[in-house]
Amino acid sequence: MPHMVQISQSVILRDAKRIVVKVGSSLVTNEGRGLDEQAIGEWCRQMAQLIREGREVIMVSSGAIAEGMKRLGWSVRPHAIQELQAAAAVGQMGLAQMYETKLRLNNLGSAQVLLTHADLADRERYLNARSTLLTLLKLGVVPVINENDTVVNDEIKFGDNDTLGALVANLVEADALVILTDQKGLFTADPRKDPQAQFVHEAKAGDPALEVMAGGVGSSIGRGGMITKILAAKRAAGSGASTVIAWGREPDALVRLAQGESIGTLLVAQTQKTQARKQWMADHLQMRGSVVVDDGAASKLREEGKSLLPIGMVKVDGDFSRGDVIGVVDGEGREIARGLANYASTEARLLCRKPSSEFEKLLGYAAEPEMLHRDNLVLTR
């Protein structure tokens, strides 16, 4: 049995400001029969309500390959990678169009974002993807994310969109990941085979007992199963996001969850979001460089919790790339902070003591006004 926890869903989901919602292929395509217009419309309506309440929502949607198979007249999922890629290319058109139509009916814009594992493994592309998603959220646009099945191969595939959902939750530091599936949630055994199976309402994300009880395979349409959802919850918990696994056809599931109702299985992250990210940066042993800052910048970092602007930088040491963890050193040579660099060392040297209004002239393009954004920065002293 997993270790049950005494934390109410009402607290975690009710207080969640940034939510990643993941829906699987069997739901999106009605078990492969084609895009389920009514279901997608319902999720879009619910997301719109959450956004009106002041929340930020990102959709991670499977279904491109399944929709492509239907359009191509294929009843069996192919094994050849080039055929899967072709199906994804065909299906992605319909998938994006459906979300665009349904979100537009709710007065929301949408943006298609296709990711591969390489996008999130590369530091610079990771930051680029993060910046794009956060900008879309600020603009009130709903990012609809899928794995870029048109170009992936076996070496760079996420393998399932449950994993992708968790990685996106990590990427944007979401408060919660909601995985909508064709099951009510997690049971201690397969309820179709074991009448004694008990429903798991709440447990700790990452509990090894969950992985034991969640073994099994997914549907013939998708590639996931309950085990991938358990592992996704474990991964999302690494950045402090708790996960809910719930039935995707539960009426108003997203709205009711956000109101604090207990639906599905809640897997609670044991580390707070801010603590997880700061601990990761604080524990980074191999830093590629550092920036020396003046007293004014040091004071803003320490006492006001501000971002580091290049105008407060005196000197750049080392050779680093965008996305590397670098140190922040005060005038006496003491490290006071560390964080993810928005600019490579060669660019940072050009920006020292410069206001953001001059960045485009110096670099040839306009990007972030901060050298280190406060969300990607941790004080070490």
Going edge to edge, which strands form the sheet with 289-293?
Answer: 313-318, 289-293, 325-329, 335-340, 377-379
Structural domains in the chain plus CATH codes: 9-275 (3.40.1160.10), 284-379 (2.30.130.10)
pLDDT, position 381: 77
- Prediction pTM value: 0.80
Please give the chain's pLDDT, 381 residues, in tens.
555 444 455 567 788 999 999 998 889 988 878 899 999 999 999 999 999 999 999 999 989 988 999 999 998 988 888 998 899 999 999 999 999 999 999 999 999 999 987 787 777 888 889 999 999 999 999 999 998 877 776 555 676 789 999 989 988 989 999 999 988 999 888 777 888 889 999 999 988 888 887 764 444 344 447 888 999 999 899 888 999 999 999 999 999 999 999 999 999 998 766 666 666 666 655 688 999 999 999 999 999 999 999 999 999 999 999 988 899 999 999 999 999 899 999 999 999 999 999 999 999 988 899 999 998 888 887
What are phi and psi for residue 87, nearest 5 degrees?
-60, -40
The SS3 call for residue 199 is strand
Cβ atoms of 296 and 290 closer than 8 Å: no
Q: Return the pLDDT at 218.
A: 42
| Orientation of helix 64-72 relative to helix 81-105, angle to 10° | 110
Residues 6+ apart with CB under 8 A from 7: 202, 266, 268
pLDDT at res. 6: 46
C-beta atoms surrounding 154 within 10 Å: 7
Look up residue 183 and give its DSSP letter.
Answer: S
What are the beta bridge partners of residue 338? 327, 378
Distance of CA 2 to the CA centre of its chain: 26
**Which pLDDT belongs to residue 196?**
86
CB atoms within 10 A of CB 151: 13
Sign of the torsion angle spanned by Cα atoms 162, 163, 164, 166: positive
Q: Contact at 8 Å (CB) between 72 and 90?
A: yes
Residue 260, φ and ψ in degrees, nearest 5: 100, 5
